[in-house]
Amino acid sequence: MASDTIRIPGIDTPLSRVALGTWAIGGWMWGGPDDDNGVRTIHAALDEGINLIDTAPVYGFGHSEEIVGRALAEKPNKAHVATKLGLHWVGEDEKNMKVFRDSRPARIRKEVEDSLRRLRVETIDLEQIHWPDDKTPIDESARELQKLHQEGKIRALGVSNFSPEQMDIFRDVAPLATIQPPLNLFERTIEKDILPYAEKHNAVVLAYGALCRGLLTGKMNRDTTFPKDDLRSNDPKFQKPNFEKYLAAVDEFEKLAEKRGKSVMAFAVRWVLDQGPVIALWGARKPGQVSGVKDVFGWSLTDEEKKAVDDILARHVPNPIDPTFMAPPARD
């Protein structure tokens, strides 16, 4: 059975294979922030044994990083922080904010300095390019990150939403410790290329969307709705008739999980961990939403259960929808 901790090159401490995802804590696209609950959620995650917190400047336009910094300042030396860069935003308020890709070296340096200040740290454990910027040569971005790494401001470097070809360009200039793509029971395209790439090049995968934006919590039904400022209101998975098909699959996943004495959340995240050198991001914005993380550890799916998962998907969701709706536009 695979270990339930993993090492990222450049970070000395073994890391829990479940990390807390804090996009929702930032508030933007998740119905607004709730700072005190955000801090309590991070503390609850630490109590569950999580020691890696994943955030990004664009999550609430700095707000998620500030909440992470506040929470960890109250419990120092309890966790490592992964953040991101390469997304720029302009606008007067969140409702009218325009986000676009920008990984120019000057932008990278500014974002690192801003993240250090918000997170209240001297060194960022893991810094990742959030999305590839097709208007900036990848080697230029990687070279600037490598400089910041050598200056001691970053311990490890990673990328998110990059193709193998783009990662090759990055690796020619700087060490690539992690790769962050979407991966869950419904969003599995990385099985074809990214997972084999990670294993070949000794990179750790940080799988975002492990609970598919709440779909795999078992707490939704066909009458569940989402406000306009919730990103799921624009996700085709959560629209009829797709929503009913996905929920039918979740119902069957839940039955599989019950046979193991597990929640469907624990079952879904364990499936993610069983795919390779993976850390699953468990997104939450309330303390109760991290309850049960410990149930993910200490077991693995059997071959029969993995086959049952594939059979369920083939019957209910034979043509799964990729999360491409979340991709930000290029710079003008």
Q: Catalytic amino acids?
A: 59
CB 66 within 8 A of CB 28: no
**How many C-beta neighbours within 10 Å does residue 229 have?**
14
The C-alpha atoms of residue 304 and residue 26 are separated, in whole angstroms, by 39
Reading the block at residue 80, the tokens are 């490592």
CB 156 within 8 A of CB 9: yes
User: At 239, is the secondary structure helix, strand, or coil?
Assistant: coil
The position carrying tokens 């799921």 is 232
- Show the CA angle centred on residue 209, arms to residues 159 and 117, nearest 5°: 55
Of the candidates 110, 70, 71, the one whose C-alpha atom is nearest the C-alpha of residue 89 is 110
Can you read off the two tokens belonging to residue 24?
Answer: 């929702």
Q: Shortest CA distance to 73 belongs to which of 122, 15, 10, 8?
A: 122
For residues 91 and 96, what is the distance between their CA atoms, to the nearest angstrom? Answer: 6
Question: Could you give the CA distance from residue 119 to residue 64 in angstroms, rounded to a whole number?
Answer: 9
The three-class DSSP label of residue 255 is: helix
**Torsion sign, CA atoms 217, 219, 225, 228:** negative
Between the alpha carbon of residue 201 and those of residues 24, 196, 228, 287, the distances in Å are: 31, 9, 41, 36
8 Å CB contact between 23 and 82: no
